Amino acid sequence: MNRLLLSIACAVALPAAMTAAFAQTPPAAQAPQPPSSYYPAPPPLQAPTVQQGVPTTGLSSPLPAGPSKIERTEIASDTEAQLFIDARKIVWGRHAKQKGAKPGDVTVTRQGNLWTIKGRIDSAAPGTEGDWASIDGVVERIAAGVVQIRGEVAFRVAKVEKGTPCKVSGTLTFRRSGKSQVWRLAEGDNPCDGTREGFDLVHEKPAEKKPVPTQPKRS
């Protein structure tokens, strides 16, 4: 009876020992797998075709283009041009009727084929000291009764926007009618309070210098 139990115990223990021994066999004992000649896959016989898009030539920007630089003043009326070259004074309608008001000065300059303009008026009427208006720009076109200037006109009034200059800019149109020698700014409404400023450029012909007669020599 004891021999039978011993035989059964050996039969059970032997497979368990063989399984444990096989599990402890190092991986190096297993045969390595040969490397593949293509990894991860062989290259295609032909490269994939690329769809051609719209050519990039002739594209336009969605942003508006800025104004081109003025290189030449267009003269459509020689008579108007000869009159406008002598625009020398500025009259500011906001303070023009007040006692003590004086005109300002403006200068029209010819630089080759390009005309420029620059001027300023400082209010001298009592209670308006510190108020001023100015113009600075390039003359685009001179036609009969019309002068177009690209630039800006600024108005500084102490009681408007706490004295911050209010400006109108871009292409500004000055108009003259009939035999008048005054060009008035068409876009002369103050953008801050809506007041019609009455900004005028006034022709003033320079005084002619008469030659001094030669005095005869006394003997």
What does the pLDDT read at residue 179? 93
Residue 181 structure tokens: 């020698």
Q: Is residue 152 part of a domain?
A: yes
The tokens describing 24, both together, are: 């402890």
123 with 134: CB under 8 angstroms?
Answer: no
pTM: 0.65
Give the total number of structural domains in the chain.
Answer: 1
In a domain, 114, yes or no: yes
Average pLDDT, the chain: 83
82: in domain = yes
Is pLDDT above 80 for 147? yes
pLDDT at 117: 98
Residue 146, in any domain of the structure: yes
Whether 219 is in a domain gets the answer no
CA 167, 119, 95, 203 torsion-angle sign = negative
Residue 81 token pair = 């041009």
Residue 106: which domain range?
Answer: 74-203
Residue 106 — very low, low, confident or very high, per pLDDT cuts 50/70/90?
very high
pLDDT tens for residues 50-83?
777 777 677 676 666 667 788 999 999 999 999 9
| 94 within a domain of the structure (yes/no) | yes
Higher local confidence (pLDDT), 92 or 40: 92
Residue 107 lies in a domain: yes
Residue 198 lies in a domain: yes
Instruction: Give me the pLDDT at residue 57, please.
Output: 73
What is the Cα–Cα distance from 147 to 145, expressed in whole angstroms?
7
- Token output for 97: 């009727």
